[in-house]
Structure 1
Amino acid sequence: MAWDDYIEDEYIDTPEVEIIEENIYVDEKFIKNKELIRLDLNIIQFPIFSKNTQRKINQVVKYFFNKNRDTYITVSPKAGDYIPGEMEEKVFIALMEIMKEKHMPQRFVVSAPELREKLKLNNNNAYGNIIKKSLLRLSETNYNFKNTMYSNELGGTIKEEISTSILSLRVVNLSLKMNQKYREKINDKRIKEIYEISISDHFYKNIIKKGYLVYNSNTLLEIESSTARTIYMLVEKIRFQNLYLKLDTLFLIKRIPLKYDKKNISQTVKILKNALNELVEKNLILDFKFIKESTWEKSEIEINFPESANNKKQNRFYEDRNDFRKIISLNSISETEHEMLEELKPISSNETDVTNSVKEVPTEENIDRILGLLPSKAKNLKTMPRTIREAIEKYGYEKVKNAAIYTKQQKADKIRSYFLKTLENNWADNIEEPIIRSPKIDFKPISDENTYKDVSHWDRSLYMAFEKLPENIQNGIETYAYRDYIKECGMESKIQQMAFKYSREKYICEFLEKHPEILKDEVEEEEIKEIPQKNENVITDMKYIKEKIVAVIELGDMMYSYSEEEKKILMGNILREVMGFVVKNQLTEETLGTVLEKYIKL
């Protein structure tokens, strides 16, 4: 009898493969804050787990992230199955928690009861099948990443097309003699099988080094709506340390992603509102507000976060790094994996802050700062930005900064070569960045009753008194006012500098209200009282008016990228309206601010 006689053909009746294409990118005409679409994609932002409750068998989904359709993710299920959804997302989160408990190995063993406990599922006979089906779906679904997969090793997005699953799975039958070693480790004899999980390389390398954000798994699993969970993870990444965030509604819809139909977008917005309300109820965001001036496509969402949000975020960061350091010391990670890990020391929130760790990342802003510290000729060298990027990755931002300062001080002819030798030979380890010092001002303690309270209309007479002070004292006060402003912002960048310049008078007055003793020591009260009260708020300094208008337009240009023609039109329109108030001697700070806000929304 031939071998073929023993083989039976098995036919599986499944629907035909259906390919769904979704454009994740947002048309620029709907974007007010264009910087948001430039955010690096990572595992948190990938649409790995579908939000579609009506998924179909054999339905392949392809998400496009740009207009050229050359940046995308394709999610392909196993024949006869669905793509991963909400249950698979929860199982994956639970696996991450268990992996950490087991000291972060790439391969580990888990049982259904362990996962049930993390997922808080009902203890019935069905949970085992639900968990097993989800694990199989996670292991059998294939993801194709084109220009989207972030790699911590490359420090950016992989350009080639990557095909991978999230994890691989081996179902271990404990009744087999060959699996006796596993049976001996399982105390509960009712367990008939366990699962050997191996996290795929691309995901695992990001999880253990730099390509990750830290979340509380219990918090994530307690969020009932998958949409709310995705929004929470996304906004936690985008907001950094800010307690206020403004997003384009369409941007959020596309990045979750939710169904987008121009004719029925109000239904999608309703889903967003329900998800955001859940986050408010769980105190993960403080509140939110939709701003709709015309269509939903052009609307925005304002989200405020509770003051405790930053402390919680920092604590998660510190605790995770300290835990990870302990894990390394326990040698639970192989030597090969160990080599990939960044050198970590246990950190406490009293020793450092999250912003220090951010400075180690070779961002464009950091590269520009280093270029600014090097001799001016360095900007003409095409290879310098790349050299600086690689140096930051290898040596860290602080060491590279010191090397740049040292190179400039030594007036080196061959800038790049000398810069690299400085790093290699540690010539600049003890150097300090030159500081431009302002005149010292001694502040006296002030009582609670004099503590400044924020008001929308500041006392401009303080600024007039400020202008009568010696120039060196003015510079000192302005420096301290700027420091207060940056401390309140929580970060310093070109945008903060421009914003301070735009509202310089306001912040100086606020600072002087906090410290009234400064003016008392420097200016006689009679000099301040001599200022005519009826005209104290009227602005007559044309140079000041022009500088303020130019500063606001420059700030707007940073956000909206105006053309030169648009800048000229804005300047003309603003000046025409402002001059009407100047002629009538009615131009105040409040009026000027109203006119500027009318033409430029910051």
Structure 2
Amino acid sequence: MSKKIVKSSVWWEETIDTPETEIVEENIYVDEKFIKNKSLIRMDLNLIQFPIFSKNTKRKVNQIVTYFFNKNRDTYITVTPQAGDYIPGETEEKIFIALMQIMKEKGMPKKFVISALELKNKINFTTTKYNSVVEKALSRLASTTYVFKNTLYSSEHKGILGEKIETSIFNIKTITLSKKENKKYRDLVEDKRIKVIYELEFSDHFYRNIIKKGYLVYDGDILLEIESSTARTIYMLIEKIRFQKLYLKIDTLFLIKRIPLKYNKKNISQTVKILENALSELVEKNLILDFKFIKESTWEKSEVEINFPESANDEKQNRFYEDRNDFRKLITTNGVSETEHVMLEVPTEENIDRILGLLPSKARNLKTMERTIGEAIEKYGYEKVKNAAIYTKEQKADKIRSYFLKTLENNWADDIEEPIARSSKIDFKTIQDENTHKDVSQWDRSLYMAFEKLPENIQNGIETYAYRDYIKECGMETKIQQMAFKYSREKYICEFLEKHPEILKDKEDEEIVEPKKEIPTLDIKSVREKITRAIEFGDMLYSYSEEEKRRLLGNILKEVMELDVTKGLTEENLKNVIEKYIKL
């Protein structure tokens, strides 16, 4: 077996080899299922982040490409084609996107049957030789081997797998309909012009990721309409990176490497021109608003600014929720359990800010912390990330980001995760009894009577501090603690007043003065907290869907904004608006 290594000064090496390949074949038939939004597809995170499909238009037969991601060369991906063939490129990428659309239309089975005509119609091939193009592309995708070392993301293990993983994207079986043994397949094909069909089975690693938390949702039609493979890759990558931000500033070299595009210092300006053309296409298709390269010295040190249209976040959220609603219909029809079918959470600026607030204060000074939190929410879910943040702060870690990530990877916060686990049968009375019965004789109810005589704004202030004291004593803030405080509110307020008797004393000594007739306006942070908490309480009782939560938030904010502009936003009218939409 001959081997040639071609080294590059950038971050990968190419080798030429002639390996043996093997195709695993298996028969199965899957009924088609109707899905409302057929254009939405799930893309495995590994296919978004890594060069699974080559951008090199001069690929060679039997050329193996290895991409190294660090100086130690122990983090890499090796792409090995079948003997006498090329590694997958742009055509295979389009075929894969079309496959994901067809896979969804058939109900997201691991194994399903397709024809070349179905793929032609999805991709809008104009060539009359589409049968040959499709057959070669499918064979190339099925027989190409990918070796991942410290790179493969696994939703099952909730992180990057450290061991060496060798896998293909799927296996394929070619079925000739004219053969006697394939009669059962002939009955499935209405179009008698079709002579050959293909039976696909996705590999475990890729299939698990698109069923569980290892994917992002894109519009397959939009991806196929993007003409340039480079533009398509940039679009998928920046949609992942930006979370909910409408502005990105990225190192030019980062984009070049992640696509990846070949370059050297002598011709880097030509590579930048490829990026510029790709970004221009995204502007033309209204996928980004505009972009600008910032070059103060060399291209290697340059950056690119990308702005997104205001509608980008709504479209991203709609894709996520529509896809989730579609997949909920498949849970029972395809035997995917509710536990197994966990949805990827979309990180919002509000959630990221909440996590930052739970971490040590120094975390806000770390430039990469927001991105780290966003990626963690995507991988592990908000609740698990919240637990990890609480745990990191409790341990008083010096290296905050590193300790936070290790907590997630090693499940160190599992011991505080149990109270957060959602239960459909929470005994509110038990919670109330546990927190009130044994201590009822230990607090003076006359304090609460005095508390009730205070002005509303002072009552709210005292209750807020009492709640903070209670949460500090618990060591964590979850829905369980919120419910416990709600049902033992009087007790905790009295305990707080016992600790701080000067509060009531000062109020007794003060001369009662009629307040000025001015309309107080609540600060935005306070309004956000109150609305969010109210929706969470409602969720405990009614188990809202995400769509219902969004609708509630939208209706409440609409009235709140109108009040803020016209009459001023007070505690009382905020409470009235919330009670209008959330009946507790």
Shorter-chain TM-score range: 0.5 to 0.7
Helix, strand or coil at the partner of 1:204 = helix
> 2:523 aligned to 475, 480, 485, which one?
480
Counterpart residue number, 2:390? 370
SS of residue paired to 1:68: coil
Match of 2:56 among 52, 66, 76: 52
Distance in 2 (CA, whole Å) between partners of 1:353 and 1:410 is 21
1:370 deviates by 2.3
Counterparts in 2 of 1:61 and 1:215: CA distance versus 1, 3 Å: same
Aligned residue runs from structure 1 range 75-474, under 5 A: 75-122=79-126, 124-330=127-333, 332-333=334-335, 337-338=336-337, 341-342=340-341, 358=377, 361=381, 366-371=386-391, 386-387=410-411, 389-390=413-414, 428=481, 430-431=483-484
Distance of aligned partners of 1:22 and 1:390 in 2 relative to their CA distance in 1, 3 Å threshold: farther
> What are the Cα deviations for residues 193-237 of structure 1, in whole angstroms up to 9, with x where unaligned?
100011111000000111000000000000000000000000000
Is the contact made by 1:23 and 1:65 (CA closer than 8 Å) also made in structure 2? no
Preserved CA contact (<8 Å) 1:112 1:132: yes
Count of aligned pairs between the two proteins: 407
Q: TM-score, normalised by structure 1?
A: 0.59
User: Which residue does the alignment assign to 1:460?
Assistant: none
Backbone CA RMSD of aligned residues: 4.7
How far has the Cα of 1:353 moved from its partner? Answer: 10
From the superposition, tell whether residues 373 and 120 of structure 1 become closer, same or farther in structure 2 (CA, over 3 Å). same
Change (3 A) 1:201 1:343: closer
Provide closer, same or farther for how the CA distance between residues 126 and 296 of structure 1 changes in structure 2, counting only shifts above 3 A: same
Alignment of 1:489-508 (within 5 A): none
Assess if the C-alpha contact under 8 Å between 2:279 and 2:291 holds in 1: yes
Structure 1 position 366, deviation (Å): 2.5
Counterpart CA distance in 2 for 1:46 and 1:154 is 19
CA distance in 2, matches of 1:376, 1:297: 38
Gaps spanning 5+ residues in structure 1: where?
Answer: 1-14, 27-39, 438-472, 488-510, 519-602
Shift of 1:373: 8.3
- Preserved contact between residue 25 and residue 65 of structure 1 (Cα < 8 Å): yes
Q: CA deviation at 1:262?
A: 1.1
Distance 1:107 1:23, change over 3 A: farther
SS in structure 2 of the partner of residue 283 of structure 1 = coil
Conserved 8 A contact 2:81-2:145: yes
Return 5+ residue gaps in structure 2 as ranges. Answer: 13-43, 355-373, 424-430, 432-466, 494-515, 531-560, 569-584
Q: CA deviation at 1:177?
A: 1.3
Q: For 1:181, give the aligned amino acid.
A: K
* Partner in structure 2 of residue 493 of structure 1: none
CA distance in 2, matches of 1:394, 1:180: 54
Q: Give the letter for the 2:178 counterpart.
A: S
User: In structure 2, how many angstroms separate the alpha carbons of the residues matched to 1:393 and 1:63?
Assistant: 38
Distance 1:289 1:407 in 2: 49
CA displacement at 1:185 relative to structure 2: 0.6
Q: Is the 8 A contact 1:84 1:137 kept in 2?
A: yes
Alpha-carbon distance between aligned partners in 1 of 2:134 and 2:209, rounded to the nearest angstrom: 25
Further displaced range: 156-165 or 170-179: 170-179
Equivalent AA in structure 1 for residue 232 of structure 2: R
Sequence identity of aligned pairs in percent?
Answer: 54
- The CA deviation at 1:374 is 6.4
Is the CA contact 2:419–2:480 (under 8 Å) kept in the aligned structure 1?
no
Write the distance in 2 (CA, Å) between the matches of 1:136 and 1:388.
44
| Among candidates 18, 24, 46, match of residue 42 of structure 1 | 46
Cα distance between partner residues in 2 of 1:201 and 1:291: 43
**Native 8 Å contact 1:49 1:89 kept in 2:** yes
Checking the alignment, whether the CA contact within 8 Å between 2:177 and 2:183 is kept in structure 1 is yes
The superposition leaves residues 486-537 of structure 1 with CA deviations (integer Å, 9 ceiling, x where unpaired) of 99xxxxxxxxxxxxxxxxxxxxxxx9xx97999xxxxxxxxxxxxxxxxxxx
How far apart in 2 are the matches of 1:477 and 1:374? 37
Equivalent AA in structure 2 for residue 431 of structure 1: A
SS at match of 2:49: coil
Give distance in 2, aligned partners of 1:181 and 1:390. 50
Instruction: State how far apart, in whole Å, the 2-side matches of 1:23 and 1:111 are.
Output: 43
Please report how far the alpha carbon of residue 361 of structure 1 lies from its aligned counterpart in structure 2 after TM superposition: 1.7
1:406 Cα offset (Å): 12
Contact 2:384 2:417 in 1 (8 A): no
User: Which range is displaced more, 186-195 or 155-164?
Assistant: 186-195
Give how far 1:480 is off: 1.6
Offset at residue 479 of structure 1 (A): 7.6
The alignment partner of 1:262 has SS state of coil
Mark the CA change 1:201 to 1:387 in structure 2 (over 3 Å): closer, same or farther.
Answer: closer
Q: Tell me how far apart the structure 2 counterparts of residues 477 and 50 of structure 1 sit (CA, whole Å).
A: 60
Measure the CA separation in 2 of the matches of 1:100 and 1:297.
41
Seen in structure 2, the aligned counterparts of structure 1 residues 171 and 321 have a Cα distance that, compared at 3 Å, is: same
Preserved contact between residue 213 and residue 343 of structure 2 (Cα < 8 Å): no
Secondary structure of 2:58's aligned partner: coil
Supply the distance in 2 between the matched residues of 1:142 and 1:224 (Cα, whole angstroms): 27
Using structure 2 for the length normalisation, give the TM-score. 0.60
